[in-house]
Amino acid sequence: MKKRIYRATLITSVLVLVVAFALTTRVLYGHFSHAIDTQLEIQLKLAVHGVEVGGEDFLRSLADENYRLTLVNSDGAVVFDTAADSSGMDNHLDREEIKEAIQTGSGKSERFSRTLLKKTINITQKLSNGEILRISTTQRTLIQLVLKSLWPLLAVFAFAAMLSMIAAKRVSDRIVEPLNRLDMENPSDNDEVYDELAPLLLHIEKQNEKIDMQVKELKQRQEEFSAVTENMNEGLVMLGNRGNVLAINKAAMKIFSADKKCIGRPFIETERDVNISEALANAMTCGAAEVHYCANGREYQVNISGIGRGNDRDGAAMLIFDVTDKVFAERNRREFTANVSHELKTPLQSISGSAELIENGLVKPEDIPSFISNIRSESARLISLIDDIIKLSRLDEKTEMKYEKIDLYELAVKTAEGLKSLADKKKVSITVGGQSVFVQNAGRLVWEITFNLLENAVKYNKEYGTVIAEVIKGDDCAAVLRVKDSGIGVPAEDLHRIFERFYRVDKSHSQETGGTGLGLSIVKHAAEYLGAEIDIQSEYGVGTEVTVKFKN
Ligand code: ADP
C-alpha cells in the first residue's frame, strides 16, 4: 500500500510538473510573440510615417539586420527592400499580407521555415499613394525555443523530480503510519486515525464480534462432540476426503495403538490393514462398507460410512465395535450345540440298540436284566445331561434366580452327607471343617458349586483317598469354600480347559463315573453370576484343591 501511495504521488507530481512546464512555456512564448508583434506594428507605423515624408531615402537610412523593410507598389512589384536587391525579386501580389493590405489597408502573415524551427512574421500597411510597406522579422518557434533550452530544462526537471520523490516518500509515510498503528482487535479504540475509516472500523468491529461468537459456538460444539465421543466404548474415527484423520476418540486410539499425532495424517499410516483400506475405498465410492478386524487378541466390527453424495465424498465416519464376546459366545454356542447333539446321541443309541435287541428276541432271557440295567443307566445319564444343559442355559440367559441367605458350612455338611453312599462305594472319606458362615443372595447356585466340587473330589479320587472341605470367613470376602482331595489330579496342560463345556481329561473315566463334562462349567457360570472368584491348584497323581471366594 505504501508503495502504491508513493508511486501515485510521484507520478502525479511528475505529471503536474510536466504540464506546468508545458503550460508555462506556452504562455511565455505567446506573451513574447505578442510583444514582438506589438513592437513590429509600432515600428511599421513609424516607418510608414517616415516614408510618407521622406520617401525611399528614409527607408535606406533605416536598414537594420534585425528586421527587413520592403516597399511594394500596388501592382505587386517590389520598389525597395532593405535586405535584397529589389530588381531581381518576384511579384508580391500573391503574398497573403500584401493582398490583405491592398484590400483592407493592413495585413499580417506568418511563414514557417522547412524545419519548423523558425518563423517569419510579416506586417503590412498601405501608404496614402497606394504603395504597401512591409516589415518582417524572423523569430524562433516554440520548438526551437524548447530545444535550445533543453539541458537547463532537464536539469530543473530532474531537480523538481527529486524533490517530488522526497515529498512522495514523506506523504506516503505519513498516510501509512497511522494505518500501521491500527488496533484491529479493538477497532473502536482507534480515535486518532482518519475519520473516513470510521465506517470500516465499525464494520470490522461487528465482524470481530460475529467471529468471536462463531468461534465460541464452534468451541462449545467441539467440546460437546469430544465429551460424547471420548466416553464412547466404541471407537470413532472421522476421516477427510483424502482419508486423512480429522478426529479420533480414545477408544479408537487404543484399538489402533495410535496417539493424537495421527490427526491430520493419512489413516493408512495409523493402520495398514488391507481390509480396512479396501473398505474405506469402498465406502468412499459406494457409501458404506463393513469389515472384520482383529488386533491385540480382540475382534472388531468396523463400519465405515461415506459422508456426502456420489463420487465427491466429503469424508467418512468409521465406527469400531468390540465384538470379541459376541463372536466368542457365538462360537461357544455352535460348539455347544454340536457337543450336545453328540453327547445325547451316544446314550440314546445305546438305549435304542438294547431295546431293539430285546424287541427282536435276540437277547437271552438271563441277559435281559443286564440290558434293562444298561437302558436305565443310559437314561439316567441322559436325564442328568439334560438337567445340566438346562442349568447352563438358565445361567446363560441369566434367568432370575431365587435368592436367599445360606449358611455355607451347613450346606457343605448336608452335601457331604448326600454324597456319602458314593464316597463309601469309592472308599473315600469326606470331612467338612470350618465354621458357620453366611452367603447373601445366593440360593441354589451355591448348592450347585458346592455339590459339583465335592462330587468331583469324590469321583476323581483314589481308593482310600480323602476329601477335606473347609468353610471359613475370608479376609477380603464374605466366605471361602475350600475343597481338597487326594485324587488323581489334573495334568498341567489340561488345567486351564477343565471349566470348558464337555471338556473331560479322561473321557472314559468321566463317563464311567456318570460325568457329563458340564459340572465345572456350571460351577464357573454360577460363580460368575454371584461375583465369586475360583482358584484351582492341581498336581497330576497327587490331588486337587479348589477355592471359591464369595463376595457377599
Ligand atoms: P464331569 O461331569 O465329567 O465330572 P466336570 O466339568 O465336573 O465334568 O469336570 C471336567 C473334567 O475335569 C472331568 O472330566 C475331570 O477329568 C476333571 N476334574 C474335575 N474335577 C476334578 C478333580 N477334583 N480331580 C481330578 N480331575 C478333576
- 118 contact partners, CB below 8 Å, separation of at least 6: 112, 138, 139, 140, 141, 144
Task: Give pLDDT tens digits for 46-79.
Answer: 888 888 888 878 877 776 777 888 999 888 898 8
Closest ligand 1 atom to the C-alpha of 506? 16
Atom of ligand 1 nearest to the CA of 485: 23
Percent of the chain whose predicted confidence (pLDDT) is above 70: 97
Cα 371 to averaged position of ligand 1 atoms, centre (Å): 28
Residue 511: band (very low, low, confident or very high) from pLDDT cuts 50, 70, 90: low
pTM for this model (two decimals): 0.53
Asked if pLDDT for residue 388 goes beyond 90, the answer is: no
Nearest-CA residue for ligand 1 atom 14 is: 504
pLDDT tens-digit readout, 6-32: 888 888 888 988 898 889 888 988 888
How far apart, in whole angstroms, are the C-alpha atoms of residue 463 and residue 474? 32
Which residue puts its alpha carbon closest to atom 12 of ligand 1? Answer: 498
**Which residues, in sequence order, are bridge partners of residue 359?**
none
CA–centroid distance, residue 501 to ligand 1 (Å): 11
Q: How far is the CA of 493 from the centre of ligand 1 (A)?
A: 14
DSSP code per residue over 412-459: HHHHHHHTHHHHHHHT-EEEEEE---EETT-THHHHHHHHHHHHHHHH
Closest C-alpha to 420, from 458, 460, 462, 472: 458
Q: Which residue lies with its CA nearest to atom 19 of ligand 1?
A: 456
Give 525 Cα–ligand 1 centroid separation in angstroms: 15
C-alpha cell at 347: 446314550
- Counting atoms of ligand 1 from 1, which one is nearest the CA of 505? 16
**pLDDT, averaged across the chain:** 88
The grid cell for 290 is: 463393513
Report how far residue 248's alpha carbon sits from residue 472's, in angstroms, rounded to the nearest whole number. Answer: 50
Q: How many CB atoms lie within 10 A of CB 285?
A: 11
DSSP 174: H
3-state secondary structure 266-314: EHHHHCCCHHHHHHHHHHHHHCEEEEEEEECCEEEEEEEEEECCCCCCC
- Is residue 292 over pLDDT 80? yes
Nearest to 532 by CA among 551, 504, 515, 546: 551
Least confident of 30-34, 246-250, 296-300, 405-409: 30-34
Encode pLDDT of 336-346 as tens digits.
Answer: 888 888 888 98
User: What does the pLDDT read at residue 229?
Assistant: 86
Helix, strand, coil content of the chain in percent (nearest 5): 55, 20, 25
The C-alpha atoms of residue 432 and residue 471 are separated, in whole angstroms, by 8
Which of these, 393, 337, 387, lies nearest to 525 by C-alpha position? Answer: 393
Residue 509 confidence (pLDDT) above 70: no
Say if residue 390's pLDDT is above 80: yes
Q: Which of 136-145, 393-402, 499-508 has the highest mean pLDDT?
A: 499-508
Alpha carbon of 285 to ligand 1 centroid (Å): 56
Torsion of CA 475, 476, 479, 485, to 10 degrees: -80
Give the model's pLDDT for residue 293: 94
- Please list, in sequence order, all residues whose beta carbon lies within 8 angstroms of the beta carbon of residue 131, skipping any fewer than 6 positions away: 71, 72, 73, 74, 79
Burial class (CB in 10 A: 0-12, 13-18, 19+), 476: exposed
Band of residue 510 on the pLDDT scale cut at 50, 70, 90: low
Q: How far is the CA of 473 from the centre of ligand 1 (A)?
A: 27
74/127 Cα distance (integer angstroms): 10
Which residues does a 6 A CB cutoff place in the pocket of ligand 1?
452, 456-457, 460, 485, 487-490, 498, 503-506, 510, 515-521, 544
* pLDDT score, position 401: 67
Mutate to test the pocket of ligand 1, among 388, 498, 509, 513 (most ligand atoms within 8 A of CB): 498
End-to-end CA distance of the chain: 82
Q: Best of 391, 504, 534, 544 to mutate for ligand 1, by most ligand atoms within 8 A of CB? A: 504
Range 121-131 average pLDDT: 90
Tell me, in angstroms, the distance from the centre of ligand 1 to residue 222's CA.
57
Q: Which amino acid is at 449?
A: I
Q: Whose CA is nearest to atom 4 of ligand 1?
A: 515
CA of 378 to the centre of ligand 1 (A): 19
Cell matching residue 5:
501511495
pLDDT tens digits for 73-101?
A: 888 898 888 888 878 888 888 889 999 99
**Mean pLDDT computed over 175-201:** 80
pLDDT of residue 400: 65
For ligand 1, atom 2, name the residue with the nearest CA: 515
CB 218 within 8 A of CB 238: no
